[in-house]
Structure 1
Amino acid sequence: MRIVNTVAELRDAVRVWRSAGQNIALVPTMGNLHSGHLALVDAAKKKADRVVVSIFVNPTQFGIGEDFETYPRTEAEDRQKLSACGADLLFQPAVSAVYTSDAKTVVSVSGLSEGYCGAFRPGHFDGVATVVCKLFNIVQPDVALFGLKDFQQLTVIRTMVRDLNIPVEIVGVATVREASGLAMSSRNGYLSAEEKTTAAKLYQTLCVARDAILAGAQSFQEVERKAILFLQESGFQPDYFSVCRVSDLKKADRDDMDLVLLAAVRLSKTRLIDNVCFSRKPQFHSDVLLSKGN
């Protein structure tokens, strides 16, 4: 695996691959890699001839008082993991290689960035959209892969790509979970063993809410209320628990079929996010259809 730190080095490598007719996948990360990140690399290898992984702790998506300075950085371990799983190139730039000191341009996806995590982390998704747009311009990949765990982020990126006519296919990859159901996250390292046991209740709450809706719960607001109450009683401080439309993340109503439950909570000093996507459309199986035709 080749490791580069500058835009010029990366573009030289990409130019060689392009001249050989190879296509390229990008997996953007902030490092401290876990099984969820490596699943993205595995999926990327199936989508493209060459896989570029970026590790860049992006300062513009951290707010005042957030953990930019203390965000876990495990460069040596990350390099070993990426080499072992078959990444072709690691792009690990300094902040000065990505942002000029007098940078004035910000990419903002209005209507999707202000709610949910955006309401609790003002400016966060502007930072995400800007750095991802820059990475797309630097690498010029054919496809880019992101985890479904941060569904709002994925929706922001997909919308940005559509609106700016960026020729990159965006692929969402299923959330990788610990045996308890807790979604893999770099911030799980902040949790004690006892807190990890509690943290698993977030996914359990999402599943209970999903099952209630699929069973015909008449009030989405009541589903949200019960979920928030349970989370509070379990020791969380919920930021939100919302039943939303998959298409635009607006609050869902009874006519919406494709739904996502979005949740963010705080457990001690750690902020956790998770979601569950599902459809209320009837599932017709071939054996049922055949029996009706006989």
Structure 2
Amino acid sequence: MPAPSVTRLPDVPALRAQVREWRAAGDTVALVPTMGALHAGHLALVERGLAACRRVVVSIFVNPTQFGPAEDFSRYPRDAERDLALLAQAGADAAYLPDVAAMYAPGFATTVHVAGLTEVLCGPIRPGHFDGVATVVSKLLLQALPDLALFGEKDFQQLQVIRRMVRDLDIPVAIEGVPTVRESDGLAMSSRNRYLSDAERRQAAVMHAVLREVAAAVRGGAEAAPALAAGRERLEQAGFGPIQYLSVNDAETLAPLDRVDGPARVLAAAYLGATRLIDNVPA
């Protein structure tokens, strides 16, 4: 039996032709946007897409506009052949692999900016990041026009920014968040985890433990500040630093909360050695 394979779509015309063919057959379509370096978290998105729609297309594009000048765009892990093999095994139908010129043609001059949600948490720390995310995701959604697009909850702020953008711009695509997939010790799966040394990897799961402790402490309406202070101290003792934020925020608006009185998330971003880790849990 031949090994499974996915259809490679190199550019917008190929993507649209494939989606048109599926539509003509009456198929529904899910899109899973990724930057490659796939892991079990991405494959969970594919699995959910296959459960919800007849066809799944996965985009693989390391988007330069969402990286700052001192960030890891040049060294971000890339292994297209490995990614394609994983997608084939997962049952994805197609992989969309545009290059930078296909996504940002000469003279490209448009940026999508979502106010409010991008002004807290990662926003001030990574200026321009969410403009890059919103712009590329809006392009991917309009290029494919799927029924559904799936994003991991690990990047919770990104998920909320995309939901707001889609509502505001009347893009006719349903957006669904998929729960974070974790290693056995609780560490959120991430393409950047491969940057961790062995010693750092052993400490990395402390972030998830701290998030859960803070969530348990504030869930009944207790003041957040003492739990957040204790959480920061534990992160520092585990070798994290700088700690960019450890925060309790409204789950929809992302406004910081002193006390939880509705849906909320506990979110963190911190360096462990040279690797920036982010995670969040419901409060």
TM over 0.5, yes or no? yes
Instruction: Choose which of 108, 112, 128 in structure 1 pairs with 2:113.
Output: 108
Do residues 64 (structure 1) and 66 (structure 2) align?
no
Shift of 1:188: 0.1
SS of 2:117's equivalent?
A: coil
Asked if structure 2 preserves the Cα contact closer than 8 Å seen for 1:245 and 1:256, the reply is no
The answer to whether residue 175 in structure 2 is matched with residue 170 in structure 1 is yes
Contact 2:225 2:258 in 1 (8 A): no
- C-alpha distance in structure 1 between counterparts of 2:174 and 2:193, whole Å: 29
Give the CA deviation at 1:234: 1.3
Q: Report the equivalent of 1:29.
A: 34
Who is 1:231 aligned against? Answer: 235
Correspondence for 1:282: none
TM-score by length of 2: 0.96
The Cα shift of 1:101 comes to 2.0
Letter of the 1:82 partner, please give it. L
Q: Which string of whole-angstrom CA distances, capped at 9 and with x for unpartnered residues, describes residues 117-170 of structure 1? A: 111111000000000000001000010000000100000000001111111111
Name structure 1 gaps, 5 residues minimum.
279-294
What TM-score does the superposition give when structure 1 sets the normalisation length? 0.92
- Which residue does 2:24 correspond to in 1? 19
Mapped to 2, the partners of 1:84 and 1:257 lie a distance apart of 40
Match of 2:280 in 1: 275
Match of 2:205 in 1: 200
What SS is found at the alignment partner of 1:82?
Answer: helix
Q: Is the 8 A contact 2:34 2:61 kept in 1?
A: yes
Partner residue of 2:225 out of 207, 210, 221:
221
**Number of residue equivalences:** 277
1:84 to 70, 80, 89: 89
**1:210 Cα deviation (Å)?**
1.0
1:192 deviates by: 1.1
- Aligned-residue sequence identity (percent) comes to 52
Between the aligned partners of 1:79 and 1:146, the Cα distance in structure 2 is 19
Please give the alpha-carbon distance, in whole angstroms, between the structure 2 residues aligned to 1:36 and 1:199: 17
- In structure 2, the partner of 1:119 is 124
1:149-196 alpha-carbon deviations (Å, 9 max, x no partner): 010000000000111111111110010000110000000000011101
Contact 1:217–1:223 (CA<8 Å) still a contact in 2?
no
Give the aligned partner of residue 246 of structure 2.
241
Whether 2:216 is the aligned partner of 1:182: answer no
Provide structure 2 residue ranges, at least 5 long, that are not aligned to the other structure.
1-5
- Displacement of 1:19: 1.1
